[in-house]
Chain A
Amino acid sequence: MKYTFNWSVLWTGQSGHWLLQGVLTTLEISALAWILALGLGILFGALRTVPFRIPRAVGTFYVEFFRNVPLLVWMFFWYFGVPPLLPRAMQDWLFNHGAEFWAGMFALGVYHGARFSEVIRSGIQAIPRTQMEASVAMGLTVPQAYRLVILPIALRLIVPPLTNETLNLLKNSSVALTISVAELTFQTRQIETYTAKAIEALTAGTLIYLVLCVSIASVMGWVERRVAIPGLIVRTG
């Protein structure tokens, strides 16, 4: 194998700056998409469990349509397909304010929102039916029962699978490089293009992703311990 390693490309020139920018963009797009996905996930996950047929069908449609299409296709769709249909003024605003970032964030959030919905639905269904029946018997309306009784329990139950999905979201943010969002993988490729040192650049990017994943997993582990309901949630492993 004829390959001369030169690790100094990672801290000479602009590489360090690029990597830092990449990490920040990855965290920014992931954080915004996570908030969007969690909002959509709670809304549609709850809709899929309510005792009314039409809201349930809406929830099912959202989940089944968005999660069964590759994220990359959604990125292209939201970035290339949708903006030309918007009013002129909105298009101008978007393309002056980083359209690729917003399209990427939206694609990531909506796609993962469908996956979050499934996690939240299974959390709600894990709660004994009697909780709902008791709430209604006490005179709460169905929305009140969800807001005050069901969701607070369900959201605590689902922290472990939610951690998994959060890590998936973070890793999937790398797909945004296809619509030229300058996130971590994009910057890694840029260093490789400028220095022709592929292995060094990819090693740096890979290690940063591993560190991000481990950090997020430990933060979520802390959250899990904080919000656990004694007696209701048995920690395994």
Chain B
Amino acid sequence: MDLAVVVNNFRFLIVQGFLGLGNFAGGTLRLAVPAIVLGFGLGIVIGLARLAGAPWIRVPAMMYVEFFRGVPLVMVIFWMWFIVPQLLQRPIPEFGVALTAFVVFEAAYFGEIVRAGVQSVARGQVEAATALGLSRASAMRFVILPQALRNMVPSLVTQMIVLFKDTSLASIIGYVDLTKAAQIVNNREIRPFELYLFIAVVYWACAYAMSRLARRLEHRPSYA
């Protein structure tokens, strides 16, 4: 066990590989943060579409969710790697490919969380909103979603942790995240045990902190 390899490459591993700061196409957080935001955004659309009355909206949304939940993320990443440049007729950087794959894939899981959250709001709330003269859209926006979001928080954070860990798979197509950075250092230094254990601890610290946060939010009283 020789931790010098970690100390000597700390800047590269953490500043570039993990945070993604500087003129450098990489970084775990630089990929994870937009992937979480956009994936959740698309997830809201898909979750609400699954609850729509019209079958031509509901059925495609259901098929979307079932399809992506039945396919490995690695497969989706490879799909995007080949399909996106073909569709746009020009090469796409790894960041764009990985981001597209994560958003499209995780939206299926976020969609299920949103759907469960909306369904968890008591029926009387919808009926009361309708009785007060709110339109379906206003009732959703002002009554249902604010309560649903609060109910969803624990499972949302859990899914965010999953996505955060999944960003390590972007290294397969060459995106320089923390995992890839460790691989690069290892190719030069041949210290796999120390390097992979170190990045395991970094991932663990972040994921564990997020899961503690989730547990705290779970116990917070609801004001609805």
Contact = CB atoms under 8 A, between A and B. Distances in A.
B78 A73 contact: no
Nearest to B207: A68
A114 B186 CA distance: 28
A160 B48 CA distance: 25
B153 interface: no
B138 interface: no
**Looking at chain B, what size class is its interface with the partner chain?**
35 or more
Interface string A160-180: 000000010001111101100
Interface in B75-106: 75, 78-79, 82-83, 86-87, 89
A198 interface: yes
Interface residues of A, number: 39
Contact of A72 (B82, B83, B89, B168): B168
B51 to A, nearest CB: 15
Contact of B86 (A1, A81, A189, A192): A1
B71 to A, nearest CB: 5
Contacts of B71: 171, 206, 209-210
B208 A76 contact: no
B147 interface: no
Interface string B161-172: 100011011011
B142 interface: no
Contact of A81 (B74, B87, B192): B192
A178 B172 contact: yes
Contacts of A198: 78, 82
Contacts of A82: 193
A178 to B, nearest CB: 6
A64 B186 contact: no
A11 B183 CA distance: 36
Interface in B162-220: 165-166, 168-169, 171-172, 179, 182-183, 186, 192-193, 195-197, 199-200, 203-204, 207-208, 211
B193 A73 contact: no
Contact of A202 (B78, B89, B200, B203): B78
Contacts of A69: 165, 200, 203-204, 207
B82 A199 contact: yes
B193 A85 contact: yes
Given A72-B168, A72-B171, A210-B70, A3 B196 contact: no
B78 A189 contact: yes
A197 B199 CA distance: 36
B70 A80 contact: no
Nearest to B78: A202
A187 B15 CA distance: 36
B5 to A, nearest CB: 12
Interface string A175-207: 101100000010011001000001100100110
A77 interface: yes
Interface of B: 67, 69-75, 78-79, 82-83, 86-87, 89, 161, 165-166, 168-169, 171-172, 179, 182-183, 186, 192-193, 195-197, 199-200, 203-204, 207-208, 211
Given A80-B192, A209-B70, 7 more contacts: A68-B161, A69-B165, A72-B168, A81-B197, A174-B73, A175-B74, A210-B70
27 contacts: A1-B87, A1-B89, A64-B211, A68-B203, A68-B208, A69-B200, A69-B203, A69-B207, A71-B165, A72-B179, A73-B168, A74-B200, A76-B182, A77-B193, A77-B196, A85-B193, A167-B69, A175-B169, A185-B72, A185-B78, A192-B82, A198-B78, A202-B82, A206-B75, A209-B70, A210-B71, A213-B70
